[in-house]
């Protein structure tokens, strides 16, 4: 396989009829251009130029070879020039992943401003609660929690995920409120399964003083999705330990009330996941910066916190 330098030295020398003129065009010395052409001739096993004191003349083989490679070389150089000019311009399809509820409530609302700022980027959202193989799936970035961090991926924390105990008002009628998380055992509960093990999760809750108590739940139904958990609790099926982002709109509307207002469970971070390569595509880099800045400006880490 010939190097681009050898081919470019040959084509520019053929165009100008001189190693010196080709060298000026390429920013090389005449000796370097002559050496590149000689190496190309040796590798091909043919003489491409007839050399004389008056200059260079293409041989018959050289003429045929120039016709064959000229268009290809121009295309390659055009592609190189284009990527240098446009590499810093955010553009192209940006494949993204997020959990459905969180993505639709907190990420989709960011898209009008993002698209106005970066009209060349086309977000391609995949909303899925399951942990995905981000590299095998060809994702540029993902927002969520619980992803295994494979080699080549990094996570940038956006906010903490806090669980709070909530229930529909009708479920609580005529019943005494629990004093701490162990008292949740007196109520029916809708419980979420771990997406990894498929088993019921056991949640330790803490209060603002730092005390920790295991939340004891009497499961009458299990689900595998926080949105389904929220809907089931709103229907009055039981108490639920629900992430603040999923509970917030129902608390605001009055469809749910919070139990144990001084207690919460911390289950980790909501993070931005992306490849750790040094030369991130511009579309990915600006998306990461945009989301991080939006979370800061809108004070989302505090809004999503149970504290």
Per-residue pLDDT at 85 = 52
Write out pLDDT tens, residues 215-253. 989 999 999 888 899 999 999 999 999 999 889 889 999
Q: Is the pLDDT of residue 80 over 60?
A: yes
What is the pLDDT averaged over residues 196-220?
A: 87
Q: Is the pLDDT of residue 76 over 90?
A: no
3-state secondary structure of 172: helix
Residues 297, 198: contact at Cβ < 8 Å? no
What is the pLDDT averaged over residues 116-121?
A: 94
Per-residue pLDDT at 279 = 67
Nearest to 283 by CA among 152, 77, 139: 139
Q: Is the pLDDT of residue 74 over 80?
A: no
Write out pLDDT tens, residues 35-62. 999 999 999 999 999 988 777 889 999 9
d(CA 89, CA 82) in angstroms, rounded, equals 11
Torsions phi, psi for 154 (to 5 deg):
-130, 160
What is the pLDDT averaged over residues 208-220?
A: 91
Q: Is the pLDDT of residue 268 over 80?
A: yes
d(CA 264, CA 251) in angstroms, rounded, equals 15
d(CA 213, CA 184) in angstroms, rounded, equals 11
Per-residue pLDDT at 137 = 81
Question: What's this model's pTM, rounded to 2 decimal places?
Answer: 0.68
What is the pLDDT averaged over residues 90-106?
A: 91
Q: Is the pLDDT of residue 132 over 80?
A: no
Nearest to 231 by CA among 298, 187, 135, 166: 166
Bridge partner list, 243: 163
């Amino acid at each position: 396989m010939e190097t681009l330098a050898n081919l470019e030295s040959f084509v520019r020398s053929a165009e100008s009829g001189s190693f010196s003129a080709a060298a000026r065009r390429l920013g090389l010395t005449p000796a370097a251009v002559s050496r590149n052409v000689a190496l190309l001739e040796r590798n091909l096993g043919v003489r491409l130029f007839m050399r004389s004191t008056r200059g260079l003349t293409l041989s018959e083989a050289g003429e045929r070879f120039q016709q064959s490679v000229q268009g290809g070389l121009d295309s390659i150089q055009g592609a190189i020039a284009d990527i240098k000019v446009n590499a810093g311009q955010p553009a192209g399809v940006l494949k993204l992943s997020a959990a459905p509820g969180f993505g639709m409530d907190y990420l989709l609302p960011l898209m009008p401003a993002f698209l106005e700022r970066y009209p060349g980027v086309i977000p391609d959202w995949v909303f899925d609660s399951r942990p995905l193989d981000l590299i095998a799936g060809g994702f540029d970035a993902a927002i969520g929690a619980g992803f295994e961090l494979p080699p080549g991926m990094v996570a940038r924390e956006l906010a903490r995920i806090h669980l709070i105990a909530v229930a529909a008002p009708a479920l609580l009628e005529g019943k005494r409120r629990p004093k701490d998380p162990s008292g949740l055992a007196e109520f029916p509960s809708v419980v979420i399964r771990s997406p990894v093990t498929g088993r019921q999760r056991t949640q330790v809750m803490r209060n603002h003083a730092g005390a920790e108590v295991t939340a004891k739940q009497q499961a009458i139904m299990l689900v595998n999705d926080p949105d389904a958990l929220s809907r089931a609790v709103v229907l009055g099926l039981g108490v639920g330990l629900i992430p603040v982002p999923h509970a917030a709109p129902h608390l605001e509307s009055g469809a749910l009330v919070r139990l144990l207002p001084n207690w919460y469970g911390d289950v980790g971070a909501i993070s931005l996941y992306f490849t750790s390569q040094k030369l991130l595509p511009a579309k990915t880099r600006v998306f990461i910066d945009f989301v991080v800045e939006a979370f800061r400006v809108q004070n989302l880490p505090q809004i999503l916190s149970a504290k």
